[in-house]
Amino acid sequence: MRLKFFPTKKGLRLLLISLLLLGGYNCSNEKKTTQPLVSPFTGLDTLATNDWWNRGPNKIINLKVAREDVIAFGIYTVHNNTLKLTAQLFPLYPTETREVCLEIKKDGRWQEIQKQNINDIGWATTFTVENWNTEEDISYRLLHADSARFEGLIRKDPKAKNEIVLAALSCNSNQDRGPRDNYVRNINHQNPDLVFFAGDQSYDHTEHTAAWLKFGLQFREVFRNRPCITIPDDHDIGQGNLWGEYGKKASSSAGNDGGYFYHPEYIQMVERAQTGHLPDPYDPTPIHQNIGVYYTNLILGGVDFAILEDRKFKSGPKGKIPQMGPRPDHIRDPNYDPKRIDLEGLKLLGDRQLEFLEAWGQNDTTPIKAVLSQTGFCGGAHIHGSLDNRLHADLDSNGWPQTGRNKALRAIKKAKALHIAGDQHLATVIHHGISTYDDGPWAFVVPAIVNDYYSRWWWPENEKAGPHANGVLPWNGQFLDGFHNKITMHAYVNPDSPSSGAGYGLIRFLKKENKTVLECWPRDSDVRNPNAQQFEGFPFTIQREN
């Protein structure tokens, strides 16, 4: 093969990648020497790129593992008879093969079905296998060289079951780097059919690979043997908040003028690791800076899940609306006019993602539907970070811009779908209103995995219930949020202290009964105990529309 040399940094990188792919690696113990691929971004992912083996110990995770442990985990989904499985490896030395093999067990024997080359930036690769047999459980294993193995189970489609169960989690703060044994034990005992991680799997902004490996080791026993959806949020791509604004370049890591601050190939690496195993996107056309998209849907067990990207197309507030607080995204003036910030041209989900949501909702072949996304479509918290920090409105929430919020909610309502999200560090069950109270969809925002980083509280300033409160908790009922969006609060989990309130959600779709049961379990619970208690206000049952 003849290589053309481009005398630029991009050309040098293309040359290095070509040389790497021409190395002829295989899954045997054959070793070929290559120079380490030079990372195209400086100051990002330094623990896992370039000469990573010369770096000292780091506080996130030990990257210099024994070579039999170099396959960290596999993570997969199956949709429309297509398996997509991502193999995530620890960093490899220059002399090691980049090839990973996927095998399945058939008639009691392992059979190789595919080989893929690992990407040296992020150390992941995705296997795509069409015409997958969804009628039976199939054991799989990943192999690297002659010693590394990772085994798991591709589950059959649970379409024969009446109850389809989803476990939903979010916000895996780096304030606690310990194991997640309680979560793994509880979720495996409850045995959901699907797991959803709504974002912020990583809080180590410039070291995604090390943090993603840490997350994987914490939770791999949850998704080793069942399908799993992961979507990145702001902290995963290195920002405190994210208003993606179709992929433009942000001026700072605060991101409030819209766009992505870090190198686009860093963003691509994050999305490759976290979303490569999802079904193919509805429309794969990249946004600005050649950043990809992943919004799509997944059908499992007769439930159709739309997977959205809340932040990717959303307009940033800075320079577009009047600043009414110490930050462009925090409004502290309770007397401001919400109409002044709902300006023409502002976007939330973006036109093309709304088109997908409308088309998805009109597909009647799978009547039970749910929308999975990063955060909620309203301002569902009054107090942020500490008890003395009351915000009237938070533009990081999807309550703004209101016109975009209402377009999204109308599409979700038309699909008769439940909305499930994370991000807020505050579990809530809300019935949205668009024109009138309760004419929108239901939403369940699940709590944070770790709540030591940034707690939130639902705490009306007058400390009174709203109209039509259910009496279960003191501040339920109908309210206007800080954007004058109509919401009915049915359940909330205020932390007793800044470190409490952590846990996860479990959603049970009961097909014959046409009901959905929302469960919310504290982190320190043991669900094997018949007396184990959920957070107050749960379980909560929703009667689905016909």
Tell me how far apart the alpha carbons of residues 401 and 166 are, in angstroms, rounded to a whole number. 29
Residue 102 included in any domain: yes
Tell me how far apart the alpha carbons of residues 230 and 374 are, in angstroms, rounded to a whole number. 10
- What's the confidence (pLDDT) of residue 452? 83
Tally of CB atoms within 10 A around 33: 9
What b/e string do you get for 70-80 counting C-beta neighbours within 10 Å, with b at 16 or more? Answer: bbbbbbbbbbe
- What's the confidence (pLDDT) of residue 27? 63
Cα–chain center distance at 174: 16
Give residue for tokens 């088309």: 359
Determine the longest span between alpha carbons in the chain, in angstroms.
74
SS (H, E, C) 443-466: EEECCCCCCCCCEEECCCCCCCCC
DSSP code string of 321-368: S---SSSTTEE--TTS-GGGGS-TT--SS-HHHHHHHHHHHT-TTS-E
Residue 21 included in any domain: yes
Phi, psi of 352 (to 5 degrees): -70, -30
Residue 163 included in any domain: no
Residue 103 included in any domain: yes
Structural domain that includes position 135:
9-154
Tell me how far apart the alpha carbons of residues 132 and 159 are, in angstroms, rounded to a whole number. 15
Give residue for tokens 């600005």: 288
Report yes or no: 100 and 118 within 8 Å, Cβ to Cβ: yes
Residue 385 — left, alpha, or beta (φ > 0 → left; ψ -120 to 50 → alpha)?
left
Phi, psi of 271 (to 5 degrees): -70, -30
> What is the four-CA torsion angle of 467, 469, 475, 478, rounded to 10 degrees?
-40
Residue 140 included in any domain: yes
The three-state secondary structure class of 13 is helix
Tell me how far apart the alpha carbons of residues 370 and 361 are, in angstroms, rounded to a whole number. 10
Question: In Å, how far are 240, 534, 537, 538 from 530, measured between CA atoms?
Answer: 40, 12, 18, 16
pTM over 0.75: yes
Report yes or no: 339 and 270 within 8 Å, Cβ to Cβ: no
Residue 65 is part of a domain; what is its CATH number?
2.60.40.10
Residue 288 included in any domain: no
- What's the confidence (pLDDT) of residue 3? 31
Number of folded domains that form the chain: 1
Tell me how far apart the alpha carbons of residues 295 and 398 are, in angstroms, rounded to a whole number. 17
Tens of each residue's pLDDT in the chain, 546 residues: 333 323 344 443 433 333 333 333 346 544 444 556 678 888 899 999 989 999 888 899 999 999 999 999 999 999 999 999 999 999 999 999 999 999 999 999 999 999 999 999 999 999 999 999 999 999 999 999 989 999 999 999 999 999 999 999 999 999 999 999 999 999 999 999 999 999 999 999 999 999 999 999 999 999 999 999 999 999 999 999 999 999 999 999 999 999 999 999 999 999 999 999 999 999 999 999 999 999 999 999 999 999 999 999 999 999 999 999 899 999 999 999 999 999 999 999 999 999 999 999 998 888 899 999 999 999 999 999 999 999 999 999 999 999 999 999 999 999 999 999 999 999 999 999 999 999 999 999 999 999 987 899 999 999 999 999 999 999 999 999 999 999 999 999 999 976 689 999 999 999 999 999 999 999 999 999 999 999 999 999 999 887
Among residues 280, 231, 221, which one has the least CA distance to residue 79?
280
Give residue for tokens 């995770």: 61
Tell me how far apart the alpha carbons of residues 66 and 54 are, in angstroms, rounded to a whole number. 16
Tally of CB atoms within 10 A around 119: 20
With 0-12 / 13-18 / 19 or more C-beta atoms within 10 angstroms meaning exposed / middle / buried, residue 26 is: middle
The three-state secondary structure class of 209 is helix
Q: Which residues fall within 8 angstroms of residue 530, CB to CB, at 6 or more apart?
A: none
As beta bridge partners, residue 164 has 509
Among residues 371, 387, 532, which one has the least CA distance to residue 461?
387
The secondary structure element, H or E, covering residue 76 is: strand 71-79
Residue 364 included in any domain: no
Radius of gyration of the chain (CA): 23
Report yes or no: 60 and 177 within 8 Å, Cβ to Cβ: yes
The three-state secondary structure class of 243 is coil
Q: Which residues fall within 8 angstroms of residue 69, CB to CB, at 6 or more apart?
A: 90, 148
- What's the confidence (pLDDT) of residue 22? 34
Residue 303 included in any domain: no
Name all contacts of 339-345 with Cβ < 8 Å and 24+ positions apart: 341/317, 341/395, 341/400, 341/401, 341/483, 342/400, 342/401, 342/402, 342/403, 342/483, 343/401, 345/315
